[in-house]
């Protein structure tokens, strides 16, 4: 009986000696919603945008002054390694940095140009950080993006990922890419990936305006001078940023790589070239089929897309199938045009951001060995043949244009 | 090693076979001291044993002046019905001594017939004489006769049959058991009018001499279970049985298990339903709670109303109860582990909202939750024990002062209050009180483990708990049947309640006698209707 009692007491003591293990109360955590990576000389400069919860939620009891305090707090550390910099935050932060909820990593231009291998290693090795974190490139320093508000949202970090998600879903112009996608590209045959680039754009874009975005006061501005926007696509070769694609070129790339989910497409009227129609593309499928012609390869790109007509100013009777047919032809022409714009830019850059190397490897596994070493040159010599099949599924609720009704 | 010892510890219930066989006490004690022919001897005996009691009454009667025969009638005031007593006295006074003397038959039989009231038992021994009086019988003793006659005219005030307070239903019979065992058995007999409904009565308790009746339907209940039940009940040796809880604790399996292995109910229809599924019921005099065994885990998530409502609604309610079982058991511990160990599992907006609440609360989440749970238990206990008149006060104090004020003062976060309240409500959604009480206890253990080890700790409790449940038995029936061991046909009445026309067989527990509930081949109207193709022209 005494032994049993003693063992029970000892067992009870175990609960007290767990040393809290990895226990952390929520108010001991500094929750990061976005991270930033820059280079400071040979060292890494890591910035984190963290949440101040009390100014976020509408107060429960004692919390006051929720409108006067910004909901985020940004700080930066410099160290030899990324993780080292993160741990250095303990020198100045009152709470433990908690990065599992960070959704976006912003990479500064210099850091991107000098390579992100260490970042991938950190994310794959570390259990706290998630590989599903999205990547975003910025023209200047990541730190300067993170320390600015994105009106009207209270949490800029949240809006980065929301912008990326919505854009990939509805426009498909700059498809979002995660750290995991980036790591996959490093191990693919093409060794290339396109990452969206975001920056603050405005009419004048002065330093004063940029400075203004750092303050909470900008939320009071009805029309802020600057807004965060996805501007272009950063093209990586290996882990280094080597070039950019413009919006239209990037759209072509999206068609070429079957990354279009939904998008909008404007195309001219069959008769009047200065008048435009707009179609909402609701589904699209790109089939890629490589063929070998002699020593060269040609990619047969076949795009099938469906859409609903959303806006039409052509003076035509849409109830006639020929008219619809003509419109579909114009859509196909426009898509083909976009595709070639993208393809020319990619081929000129000489970086296989289309990932065609992997398709050719899979289709011609034997021949691949021969061209593997000289793939960049081979890629430049590659051709595409594009076939687009567009279908307008619904011309809309009205058959005629406004002009005809009058 | 530790687990094995723990298991051994948990399963060590008293082995009935080691107890002395108690057959002697059960039989109508023929070897007791016989009654004396001389009335004065018996009178002396009664005066000696019970004369001190003011509620013990002796009536001296005589057939006539000259006769040697004297008659006494004794009883305990308050235990007998006054109306029947006066009828009995009237009958006794009408008796003629001559008839008794001249009767051709045995005088005992003649007298028994002449009394012509109630259930009359002939008594031969002194012990029986005392017990009969204490049982609420009026005993007639006649000078010169070796027998005494115990007339059952028990009465006095007793509670009427009322709606059961612990298990209410919307649809279904509203009558509940009372404290009177005879009334309770009669309530059951009114539902099961079959001679196969067998009632075996035992008297337990050296001082209380409580009637304990085992009820089962012969041909449905497994004979092994009935035998086991009888053996276990006979093995009880205690000074008194005041409630069926005594019996339950003395005979149940897995005495150290937090889970009950006997079902208790106040509802005659629940007992009748149980008996039809092969259960054995134990009625105890003096309590409206009737025990049933063998019982499985899933019976505790069942209400008798399930069988009275439409099957689709009943199945949905079963689902709701299963959810509330898990909520009642796990919600606080999962909340604690998520907020203190696994914040990455929380969605971002929820995390921010919870973190904002945490900013101002002074105590760790575990302590906060434990305190709130304890507070709730105190309120609940106070609500049960408190005089009914101050009932509303407790809800004001509980809800406003402790809930709202604590949150507003920043002592407790609103999330913890919500978690604790929802847990409590879920606990009340479970139909069996003894089952939900055991969950309450386990919840505290889970909370402590989750506060120390996170989800690992929660699993560290749940896995041994599952092992324990799987190995637990109730009167030889596995506790988790029909899930483990799995039985396909029994699934009709576990997580869902199949329509009655699909439930043709009884749930299989032990043995497989008399499985059919409905005729095997004959299709019911409902089934014919369900299978009939729709005729659009009809």
CA of residue A54 relative to chain centroid, distance? 30
Domain boundary residue, one of B108, B131, B152: B152
Are both B120 and B144 inside the same structural domain? Answer: yes
**Same domain (yes/no): B142, B195:** no
Residues paired with residue A232 on neighbouring β-strands, in sequence order:
A197
CA B205, CA B247: separation in Å to the nearest integer? 11
- What is residue A63's predicted lDDT score, i.e. its pLDDT? 44
pLDDT of residue B93: 77
Same domain, B338 and B268: no
pLDDT of residue B187: 94
Residues B209 and B114 both lie in one domain: no
Asked if the structure places residue B142 within a domain, the reply is: yes
CB contact B407 to A (< 8 Å): yes
Region A4-15 average pLDDT: 83
Q: How high is the pLDDT of residue B60?
A: 82
Residue B509 lies in a domain: no
Closest approach of A20 to chain B, Cα-based (Å): 7
C-alpha span between B122 and B112 (Å, rounded): 8
- In a shared domain, residues B280 and B383: no
Whether B212 and B133 share a structural domain: no
Is A29–B343 a contact, with Cβ atoms under 8 angstroms apart? Answer: yes
Assess if residue B510 is contained within a domain.
Answer: no
The answer to whether residues B92 and B198 belong to one domain is: no
Residue B474 lies in a domain: no
Q: How far apart are CA B109 and CA B100, in angstroms?
A: 10
What pLDDT does residue B15 have? Answer: 45
Residue B241 covered by a domain: yes
Asked if B414 has any chain A CB less than 8 Å from its own CB, the reply is: yes
CB neighbour list of residue B220: distance below 8 Å, 6 or more residues apart: B196, B275, B276, B277, B278, B506, B513, B514
Q: Residues of chain A with pLDDT > 90: what percent?
A: 53
Cα B34 to Cα B75, B140, B203, B377: the distances in Å are 20, 16, 21, 57
pLDDT at residue B215 in the model: 96
Of B364, B409, B448, the CB nearest to A25: B364
CB contacts, 8 Å: B337 with chain A? none
Average pLDDT over residues A11-38: 81
A308 has a pLDDT exceeding 90: yes
Residues in chain A with CB shorter than 8 Å from the CB of B360 are 54, 60-63
Q: Residue A45: its pLDDT value, please? A: 94
Candidate from A186-190, A393-397, B277-281 with smallest mean pLDDT: A393-397
Nearest CA in chain B to A18: B452
Provide the chain A residues 13-72 that lie in CB contact (below 8 A) with chain B.
Answer: 15, 18, 21-27, 29, 31, 33, 51, 53-54, 56-57, 59-63
Q: Does A79 score more than 90 pLDDT?
A: yes
- With CA atoms as reference, report the closest residue to A378 among A366, A387, A368, A386: A368
Distance of residue A28 Cα from the nearest chain B Cα, in angstroms:
9
Same domain, B93 and B195: no
Residues B288 and B389 in one domain: no
Q: Does A346 touch chain B (CB under 8 A)?
A: no
pLDDT the model gives residue B460: 92
Q: Looking at residues A349-373, what average pLDDT do you find?
A: 91
Task: Please spell the DSSP secondary structure of A242-305, one letter per residue.
Answer: EEEE-HHHHHHHHHHTT--SSEEEEEE-SS-TT-EEEEEEEEEEEEEEEEEETTEEEEEEEEEE
Query: CA nearest A29 in B: which residue?
Result: B355
Of B445, B466, B500, the domain-final residue: B445
Nearest by CB to residue B360, choosing from A62, A100, A103, is A62
Within-domain flag for B33: yes
Domains and CATH numbers, chain A: 26-53+69-245 (no CATH), 257-406 (3.30.300.210)
A322-358 pLDDT tens trace: 888 989 999 999 999 999 999 999 999 989 999 999 9
- Low-confidence stretches of chain B (pLDDT < 70) are 1-31, 63-69, 96-106, 510-513, 520-521, 533-538
CB contact under 8 A, B356 and A24: no
In which band, very low, low, confident or very high, does the pLDDT at A115 lie, cut at 50, 70 and 90? very high
CA distance A217 to A142: 22
Chain B residue with the nearest C-alpha to that of A99 = B344
Question: Which of B156 and A110 is assigned the larger pLDDT?
Answer: A110
Asked if A60 and B357 come within 8 Å (Cβ–Cβ), the reply is yes
In this structure, are B148 and B206 located in the same domain?
no
Angle at B449 between CA B444 and CA B454, to 5 degrees: 125
For residues A383-389, average pLDDT: 93
Range of the domain at B39: 24-152
| B121 part of a folded domain | yes
Residue B147 domain flag = yes
What per-residue confidence (pLDDT) applies to B25? 39
Residues B31, B126, single domain; the answer is yes
| Complex-level ipTM | 0.84
Q: What is the predicted pLDDT for the residue at B65?
A: 61
**Count of domains forming chain B:** 3
pLDDT tens-digit readout, A239-273? 999 999 999 999 999 999 999 999 999 998 877 77
Contacts of B413 in chain A (CB under 8 A): 60
* Last residue in a domain, options B241, B263, B295: B295
Cis peptide before A162 (omega within 30 of 0): no
> Are residues B315 and B438 both part of a single domain?
yes
For chain A, the average pLDDT equals: 88
């Amino acid at each position: 009986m005494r032994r049993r009692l003693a063992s029970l007491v000892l067992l009870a003591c175990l609960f007290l000696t767990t040393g809290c293990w990895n226990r952390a109360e929520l108010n001991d955590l500094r929750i990061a919603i976005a991270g930033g990576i820059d280079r400071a000389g040979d060292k890494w400069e890591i910035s984190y945008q963290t949440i101040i919860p009390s100014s976020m939620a509408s107060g429960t009891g004692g919390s006051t002054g929720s409108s006067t305090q910004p909901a985020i707090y940004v700080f930066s550390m410099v160290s030899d390694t990324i993780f080292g910099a993160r741990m250095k935050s303990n020198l100045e932060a009152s709470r433990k940095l908690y990065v599992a909820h960070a959704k976006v990593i912003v990479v500064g231009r210099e850091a991107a140009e000098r390579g992100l291998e260490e970042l991938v290693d950190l994310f794959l090795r570390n259990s706290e950080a998630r590989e599903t974190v999205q990547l975003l490139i910025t023209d200047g320093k990541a730190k300067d993006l993170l320390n600015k508000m994105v009106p009207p949202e209270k949490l800029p970090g949240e809006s980065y990922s929301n912008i990326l998600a919505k854009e990939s879903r509805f426009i498909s112009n700059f498809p979002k890419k995660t750290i995991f996608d980036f790591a996959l590209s490093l191990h693919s045959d093409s060794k290339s990936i396109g990452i969206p680039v975001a920056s603050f754009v405005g009419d004048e874009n002065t330093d004063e305006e940029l400075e203004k975005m750092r303050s909470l006061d900008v939320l009071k501005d009805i029309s802020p001078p600057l807004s965060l926007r996805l501007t272009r696509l950063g093209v990586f070769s290996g882990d280094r940023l080597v070039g950019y694609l413009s919006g239209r070129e990037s759209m072509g790339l999206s068609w070429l790589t079957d990354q279009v989910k939904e998008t909008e497409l404007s195309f001219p009227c069959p008769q009047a070239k200065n008048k435009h129609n707009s179609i909402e593309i609701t589904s699209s499928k790109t089939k890629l089929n490589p063929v070998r012609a002699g020593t060269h390869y040609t990619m047969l790109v076949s795009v099938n897309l469906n859409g609903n007509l959303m806006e039409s100013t052509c003076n035509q009777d849409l109830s006639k199938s020929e008219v619809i047919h003509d419109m579909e032809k114009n859509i196909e022409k426009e898509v083909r045009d976009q595709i070639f714009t993208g393809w020319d830019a990619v081929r000129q850059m000489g970086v296989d951001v289309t990932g065609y190397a992997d398709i050719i490897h899979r289709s011609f596994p034997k021949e691949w060995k021969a061209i593997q070493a000289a793939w960049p040159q081979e890629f430049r010599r590659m051709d595409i043949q594009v076939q687009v099949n567009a279908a307008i599924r619904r011309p809309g609720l009205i058959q005629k244009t406004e002009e005809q009704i009058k | 090693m530790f687990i094995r010892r723990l298991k051994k510890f948990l399963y060590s219930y008293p082995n009935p076979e080691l107890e002395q066989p108690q057959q002697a006490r059960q039989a109508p004690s023929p070897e007791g001291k016989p009654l004396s022919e001389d009335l004065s001897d018996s009178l002396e005996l009664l005066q000696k044993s019970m004369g001190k009691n003011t509620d013990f009454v002796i009536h001296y009667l005589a057939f006539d002046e000259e006769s040697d025969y004297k008659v006494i009638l004794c009883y305990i005031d308050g235990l007998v019905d006054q109306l029947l007593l006066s009828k009995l006295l009237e009958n006794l006074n009408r008796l003629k001594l001559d008839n008794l003397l001249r009767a051709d038959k045995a005088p005992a039989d003649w007298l028994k017939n002449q009394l012509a009231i109630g259930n009359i038992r002939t008594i031969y021994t002194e012990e029986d004489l005392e017990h009969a009086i204490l049982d609420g019988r009026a005993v007639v003793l006649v000078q010169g006769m070796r027998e005494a006659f115990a007339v059952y005219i028990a009465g006095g005030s007793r509670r009427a049959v009322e709606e059961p307070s612990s298990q209410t239903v919307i649809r279904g019979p509203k009558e509940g058991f009372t404290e009177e065992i005879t009334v309770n058995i009669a309530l059951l007999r009114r539902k099961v009018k079959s001679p196969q409904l067998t009632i075996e009565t035992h008297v337990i308790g050296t001082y209380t001499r409580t009637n304990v009746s085992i009820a089962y339907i012969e041909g449905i209940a497994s004979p092994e279970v009935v035998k086991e039940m009888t053996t276990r009940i006979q093995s009880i040796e205690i000074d008194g049985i005041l409630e069926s809880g005594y019996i339950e604790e003395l005979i149940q399996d897995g005495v150290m298990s937090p889970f009950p292995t006997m079902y208790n109910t106040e509802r005659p229809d629940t007992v009748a339903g149980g008996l039809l599924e092969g259960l054995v019921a134990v009625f105890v005099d003096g309590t409206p709670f009737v025990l049933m065994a063998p019982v499985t885990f899933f019976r505790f998530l069942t209400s008798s109303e399930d069988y009275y409502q439409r099957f689709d609604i009943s199945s949905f309610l079963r689902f709701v109860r299963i959810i509330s079982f898990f909520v009642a058991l796990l919600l606080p511990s999962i909340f604690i582990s998520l907020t203190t160990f696994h914040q990455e599992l929380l969605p971002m907006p929820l995390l921010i909202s919870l973190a904002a609440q945490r900013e101002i609360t002074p105590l760790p989440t575990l302590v906060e939750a434990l305190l709130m749970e304890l507070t709730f238990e105190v309120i609940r206990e106070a609500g049960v024990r408190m005089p009914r008149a101050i009932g509303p006060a407790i809800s004001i104090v509980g809800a406003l002062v402790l809930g709202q004020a604590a949150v507003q003062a920043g002592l407790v976060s609103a999330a913890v209050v919500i978690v604790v309240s929802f847990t409590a409500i879920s606990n009340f959604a479970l139909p069996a009180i003894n089952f939900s009480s055991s969950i309450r206890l386990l919840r505290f253990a889970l909370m402590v483990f989750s506060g120390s080890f996170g989800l690992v700790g929660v699993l560290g409790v749940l896995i041994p708990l599952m092992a324990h449940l799987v190995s637990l038995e109730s009167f030889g029936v596995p506790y988790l049947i029909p899930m483990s061991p799995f039985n396909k046909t029994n699934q009709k009445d576990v997580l869902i309640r199949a329509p009655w026309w699909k439930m043709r067989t009884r749930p299989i527990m032990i043995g497989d006698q008399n499985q059919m509930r409905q005729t095997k081949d004959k299709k019911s109207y409902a089934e014919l209707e369900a299978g009939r193709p729709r005729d659009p022209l009809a």
